[in-house]
Amino acid sequence: MQTHKTLFLILYILLLSSSSCLSLETLGDAATAYDILERYGLPKGLLPQGVQSYLLTNEGSFEFFLFDKCEFEVQGKYMLKYKTIIKGSVEFGSLRDVKGLSVRFLFVWIGVDRVVVSGDELRFYYHGSFYFSLPVSYFEQCPRCGCGFDCSNDLLLDL
């Protein structure tokens, strides 16, 4: 009898701890990762094309799963690199504690730890309070790996 009570208690604890890890997808909502960004006041183009799935907890922790690693240039100044898993927490207008996103300055890759919408700017923070800004409007569309937001030259090469 004691074994059944112990087993029941363990199952109950597991059920409680896993309930906060349900994604919106699991709850019957067919939202995509891109929809989630927009619900939180962020542009969908923060994520490149090719997000396979995601997890979002009730507390705002997220994981976005890409098909493969992804790199592309932004405005001829910055190179962004996404790992296959991007983690962090989302609040309205910002991603915090970001892991899996880097920016290249000259020859050095630096991890981006926060992304914040500030007016019409999108600020990418690294090393705490340092950041670079890009227009939010630039991220209205999702970039493609390799060519980013300007893939028109790739179409000519494919012909």
Q: Using CA atoms of 142, 78, 120, 128 in order, give the dihedral in degrees to the nearest 10.
A: 110
Average pLDDT score, the chain: 82
How many Å apart are CA 154 and CA 146, to the nearest integer? Answer: 9
Delineate the domains of the chain, giving CATH numbers in brackets.
22-158 (2.30.240)
Q: Which is more confident, 20 or 51? A: 51
- Specify the pTM: 0.76
With contact defined as beta carbons under 8 Å apart, do 130 and 117 qualify? no
Q: Which is more confident, 124 or 75? A: 124
Q: Which of 52-56, 106-110, 144-148 has the highest mean pLDDT?
A: 52-56
Per-residue pLDDT tens over the stretch 42-72 = 999 999 999 999 999 999 999 999 999 999 9
Neighbours of 138 (CB within 10 A): 16
Long-range CB pairs of 77-84, under 8 A, 24+ apart, other chains included: 78/103, 78/104, 78/105, 78/132, 78/134, 79/103, 79/104, 80/104, 80/148, 81/109, 82/47, 82/48
Q: Which of 65, 109, 67, 72 is nearest to 86 (CA)?
A: 65
pLDDT of residue 20 exceeding 80, the answer is no
Write the DSSP symbol of residue 113: -
| pLDDT classification of 13: cutoffs 50, 70, 90 | very low
Mean per-residue pLDDT for 66-92? 94
